[in-house]
A = this chain, B = another copy of it.
Amino acid sequence: MNAFQPNAADTGFILLDVLRAPETLAALPALADNADPDLIRQVAEEAGKFVGEVVAPLNRDGDEIGAQWKAGAVTMPPGFRDAYQAFWQAGWPALSSAPEDGGQGLPAALEAMLYEWLSAANHGWTMAPGLLHGAYECIKHHASDALKAHFLAKVATGEWLATMCLTEPHAGSDLGLCRTKAVPLANDPEGRYALSGTKIFISGGEHDLTDNIVHLVLARLPDAPPGPKGLSLFLVPKFYADGTRSAVVCERIEEKMGLHGSPTCVMRFDEAAAWIVGEPGKGLNAMFVMMNAARLHVGLQGVGLLEAAWQKADAYSKERRQMRAPGGAAKATPVGGPPPDGQAPSGGNALHAVKSMGASFQADLIEQHPAMRRILDAQRAWIDAGRVIAYRTALELDVIKHHSDPARQARANRWCTLVTPVLKAAWTDQAFHGASACLQVFGGHGFVREWGIEQIVRDSRVAMIYEGTNEIQAIDLLLRKTLPDGGGALQALLKDLSAELPDGDAGSARVRSEIDRFAHFVREQLVPATQADGAAADLPHWLADDFLRATAMLLMAWGWARIAATPGADTPRWQTAYQGFWRWVWPEFDMRLAMMAQTLST
């Protein structure tokens, strides 16, 4: 079983050549000094080395040994603490934090690349620092100066890790149902609150990676109104400044399908002394800062996990021979003696296919079989386009933060608002389904633990659920972000996409016409039908998933048109995946349009 290896040439091509990140960054005063392509390449190379050499080798033990709970303490899998200590001491968590907070002030797109690789290498380990940047932004923008003095730098640099404590046993997707209470502490000079309640599904609620853990917790003040508007945000650390431990207990960790390297904790707060972060009743607002970054990161997990699965399947398909491929005679090699390389077998008992071999006893590489090529090329199409979409989103996040032109910022904001849920839902969906397709390349051995491919299938499944289920992403995109303004923002995004396509090449022309077709559908069918007098309230809910998928297909088509038009993309490496996109991925677009049209006419 090979551990994941970051491919800086592949990712660099997307970020630097396709997206021309340095041009975007050069327009941002805060980042202009760090926009140099050579600097970006150098950081990426160092990041790749760390991920490949330090983090990736721990993935197997993370799954098999996992995080262990005992009497409230959680021991992380072997090597996890050392790797994390090396990670923060090298400054990786602070990559895109502001220099004045102890950060390195590098572009968010570099951080995106780093987290994609980390997730590919070791999803479980990466859960620990995954929420750090969001917590940093949350504290930076909402906490009091006194709180910041104590916590900001520790979180910005990653010396301490952080959690988001939202879900409760009866309040999952529906946080308005939260019951955790915060009551003012009598005579507390710091004006703190006593926090009581139980939170579940808390990733990294307890562990031994860092010397302290900072919990950000949603709770209700006394007399707060019911529902989401009654929620405030609080901060409570595992240890206070004087070294005393807070009244926060990890009651147990969940037994899960995968992601065993990340402890999913049930956390009990027993009148734990906590500071409020931001205004009372504005807890969700303060957490929104964390949410957008978190959803981009989950989308990047999807891209990374799919790349990890593809790498394994691709390597296997180039080593293992089985059956004759059609027209493969020229390339076939006799399989006579003992297995030359100790390769393990693919499974299945396919007598039929054997019969058709007749008297020929040669076998072709698995990569030469069309059914397997479809699988491999389709995943490559998803991964490469996913990088275009995800890195671009990261660039736009920096534009929102640092650009001086409000119109450009608004455009960036539109991108992030509309594209983030698509990235999160479609690419986490593909991580799971694509990893399963890659497992198929191994035949029976894919089902066996040894090769590590089934771990990716198990680990990736959760990303379709957390940070808002994929169905909720679809509702967010259609119901909250598209229909309320009559599709205006979406139409503007589609125009932006068209405008960024080069003129004169056939691929771009095709994508432009598909964008127009989608824009027309939204304008002439979707919006009028859902907003007609007497339209059923649930009508858009029935097609939200189709709408998100169709949007994902369009974004991918756009990404591939951008890749194909980039100098250097005329090699088999890129052309194979480009053709794979049109052949094996794109046809879903028409199906989704047809499904929506049918629903609208029902």
Q: Which A residues form the contact surface with B (CB < 8 A)? A: 164, 166-177, 200-201, 225-229, 254-259, 264, 284, 287-288, 291, 294, 322-323, 325-327, 335-336, 339, 343-361, 363, 369-372, 374, 432-433, 436, 439-440, 443-450, 454, 457-458, 461-462, 464-472, 474-476, 479-480, 536-538, 540-542, 544-545, 583-584, 587-588, 590-591, 594-595, 598-599, 602
Residue pair B371, A475 in contact (C-beta under 8 Å): yes
Is the Cβ of B594 less than 8 Å from the Cβ of A443?
Answer: no
Name the B residues within 8 Å of A353 (CB-CB).
173-174, 468, 472, 475-476
Are A449 and B352 neighbours in the complex by a CB distance under 8 Å? no
| Max chain B C-beta neighbours (<10 A), residue from A174, A545, A595 | A174
Which of chain B's residues have a CB closer than 8 A to the CB of A370?
A: 538, 541-542, 544
Q: Which 7 A-B pairs have the closest CB atoms?
A: A326-B538, A257-B454, A371-B471, A350-B468, A327-B537, A370-B541, A172-B346
Q: How distant is the Cα of A462 from the Cα of B454 in the complex, in angstroms?
A: 11
Query: Are B448 and A469 in touch, CB under 8 angstroms?
Result: no
Knowing A167-B444, A288-B351, A475-B371, say if A345 contacts B450 (CB, 8 Å).
Answer: no
Give the distance in Å from the alpha carbon of A313 to the alpha carbon of B508 in the complex. Answer: 43
Cα A27 to Cα B305 in complex, Å, equals 56
A464, closest chain B residue (CB)? B440
Give the CA-CA distance A469 to B447 in the complex, in Å: 12
| Residues in B whose Cβ lies below 8 Å from that of A170 | 335, 339, 343, 345
The CA-CA distance from A462 to B352 in the complex, in Å, is 19
Q: How far is the CA of A177 from the CA of B351 in the complex (A)?
A: 12
Q: Are B327 and A536 in contact (CB under 8 A)?
A: yes
Least CB distance from A467 to B in Å reads 6
- Cα A228 to Cα B536 in complex, Å, equals 62
Find chain B residues with CB under 8 A from A372 CB: 471
* Residues from chain B with Cβ under 8 Å of A171 in the complex: 345
Whether A447 contacts B471 in the complex (CB less than 8 A), given A167-B349, A346-B172, comes out as: no
Q: Known interface pairs A227-B361, A480-B356, A541-B369. Does A447 touch B465 (Cβ–Cβ under 8 Å)?
A: yes
Known: A226-B336, A444-B465. 20 other contacts (CB 8 A): A167-B348, A173-B347, A201-B347, A225-B359, A228-B355, A254-B450, A284-B354, A288-B351, A291-B351, A326-B537, A347-B465, A353-B472, A371-B471, A371-B541, A433-B433, A440-B469, A440-B471, A444-B466, A458-B458, A590-B591
Closest chain B residue, CB of each to CB of A255: B449
Q: Is the CB of B228 within 8 A of A357?
A: yes
CB distance from A447 to the nearest CB of B (A): 5
Shortest CB-to-CB span from A351 to chain B, Å, is 5
Could you jot down 29 A-B contacts, CB within 8 Å? A166-B349, A169-B343, A172-B346, A172-B444, A172-B445, A173-B322, A173-B350, A173-B354, A174-B323, A175-B349, A175-B350, A201-B347, A227-B359, A228-B354, A228-B355, A255-B448, A257-B448, A257-B457, A325-B538, A326-B537, A347-B469, A349-B468, A369-B541, A370-B542, A371-B545, A447-B465, A583-B598, A587-B595, A590-B590
B447 A256 Cβ-Cβ under 8 A: yes
In the assembly, what is the distance between CA of A258 and CA of B458, in Å? 10
> Which one of B225, B461, B468, B536 lies within 8 Å of A457 (CB-CB)?
B461
Chain B residues whose CB sits within 8 angstroms of the CB of A371 once the complex forms: 471, 474-475, 541, 544-545
Q: Assess whether A348 is in contact with B461, with CB atoms less than 8 Å apart.
A: no
Q: Give Cα distance in the complex from A480 to B356, angstroms.
A: 8
User: Are A465 and B176 in contact, with the CB atoms below 8 A?
Assistant: no
- Contacts of A470 on B, CB cut-off 8 Å? 440
> Are B255's CB and A357's CB within 8 A?
no
* Bound CA–CA A350/B466 (angstroms): 8
Give A291 to B541 CA distance when docked, in angstroms. Answer: 45
Q: Is the CB of A169 within 8 A of B345?
A: yes
Say yes or no: A284 contacts B541, CB within 8 Å. no
Beta-carbon contact of A443 and B360 below 8 Å: no
Complex CA–CA separation, A454 to B352 (angstroms): 33
Contact B447 A174 (CB under 8 A): no
A192 CB to closest chain B CB (Å) equals 25
Residue of A226, A227, A374, A444 most packed against chain B (CB within 10 A): A444
The minimal Cβ–Cβ distance linking A116 to chain B, given in whole angstroms, is 21
Using Cβ atoms and an 8 Å threshold, which residues of chain B touch A598? 583, 587
**A172: which of B348, B439, B599 is its contact (CB, 8 Å)?**
B348
The closest CB in chain B to the CB of A545 belongs to B371
CB-CB under 8 A from A327, the residues of chain B are 536-538
Residues of B within 8 A of A449 (CB): 254-257
- CB-CB < 8 A to A176: which residues of B? 354, 357, 361
